[in-house]
Amino acid sequence: MRIGVISDTHGLLRPQAVDALQGVDLIIHAGDVGSQEILDNLGEIAPVWAVRGNTDRGEWARRLPLSEMVAAGEVQLYLLHDLHTLDLEPQAAGFAAVIFGHSHRPHLEKKNGVLYLNPGSAGPRRFTLPVTLALLQVQGQTLQTEFVTLTV
């Protein structure tokens, strides 16, 4: 299973992001989406799971959960926007990965057997940070991650 992981679009879905997500089986958006239109456009590529970010407002945003559990093949993923709001122990809960956004910084680390992944921001550039998303390959219980830097 190939999963596109995107975050912090803030209302901007770049054509480069759309191109990078072609062929994925599932898209995860880790918040600060910006508008329902972003989710609709992503949904034309693959099924979308999304959480509400701190800047998501309005009726469309209230329908998004603050956190979500996503089954991906044989593994469970935990999705939230701001890692600082994590209120459970992922390893004890049986999650293979925690996916988050908020900082706009791509981040990948494994802690206590759990992968922590922030795809970075695919929306408007912030400071000098790169514009990125991630591709997550799930094979059995093995997760492999690739960051994609979008040329803007």
Domains of the chain: 2-149 (3.60.21.10)
Confidence of residue 91 (pLDDT cuts 50, 70, 90): very high
* Residues 6-40 pLDDT 10s: 999 999 999 999 999 999 999 999 999 999 999 99
146 contacts: CB under 8 Å, gap ≥ 6: 134, 135, 137
Confidence of residue 109 (pLDDT cuts 50, 70, 90): very high
pLDDT of 111 > 90? The answer is: yes
Average pLDDT over residues 53-74: 97
57 contacts: CB under 8 Å, gap ≥ 6: none
Q: pLDDT at position 90, please?
A: 97
How wide is the angle at C-alpha 69 spanned by C-alphas 136 and 55, nearest 5°?
A: 85
Average pLDDT over residues 65-93: 97
Confidence of residue 127 (pLDDT cuts 50, 70, 90): confident
If you count them, how many residues does the chain have?
152
pLDDT of 142 > 90? The answer is: yes
E strand or H helix at 43: helix 36-43
d(CA 30, CA 34): 12
E strand or H helix at 3: strand 2-6
Tokens encoding 99: 């996916």
